[in-house]
Amino acid sequence: METNNLKGFPLIGDKLPEMAVQTTQGIKKLPRDYAGKWLVLFSHPADFTPVCTTEFVSFAKNYEKFQKLNAELLGLSIDQVYSHIKWIEWIENELKVEIPFPIIADDQGKIATQMGMLHPGGGTKTVRAVFIVDPESIIRLILFYPAELGRNMSEILRILEAFQVADKNNVAMPANWPNNELIKDRVIIPPPTDIKGARERKKQADCFDWWLCHKKV
């Protein structure tokens, strides 16, 4: 059976590859410059395009919320740094929104290729990729969006908050957390791994069954 070959592309659980990148705020060294912080690395198809412009405005307007979660934003597209600068100026002058985060100028496409941001049939434009990298420089989540669909900032913020709650409390997060249809803002306790634990779990926690227990954090 034929399968897609993802070998060489960073995957969830891998460390973000080391690279020096040209950005609108100077050279950044990844992942070193973001050590100790969460990083949202996202690509967009091109500067001066309508959906991308709405995304950048939304990222900018939510920037303080990302910072409160100890997270930084880093954009990327296969455009020259001069194009990025001019686009930022246009957004600031015409839409009255300042873009506070840097944008990688990957005009040779090397970073996009390395990160799997170029998909077959997409030409030389990057897809709308999102990589969430934790303070230890480990890739925790990868999302891909098509060109015609803008991203939801509330969902990316929700993901960051959920990761931080899960890591701090050694729990899992239910669907639609913190508004889950079954347990609302409660979190899921990892299931026991032996018979004794399974028999005792329902006595120790709120459970639907021994393998589906939850608690408040």
Q: Mind telling me the catalytic residues? A: 52
- CA 173/CA 185 separation, integer angstroms: 9
Q: Give the end-to-end CA distance of the chain in Å, rounded to a whole number.
A: 45
CB 81 within 8 A of CB 24: yes
26-30 and 19-23 as β-strands: parallel, antiparallel, unpaired?
A: antiparallel
DSSP character string of 116-164: T---TTSTTSPPEEEEEE-TTSBEEEEEEE-TT----HHHHHHHHHHHH
- In the chain, the amino acid numbered 39 is L
Residue with tokens 């799997």: 116
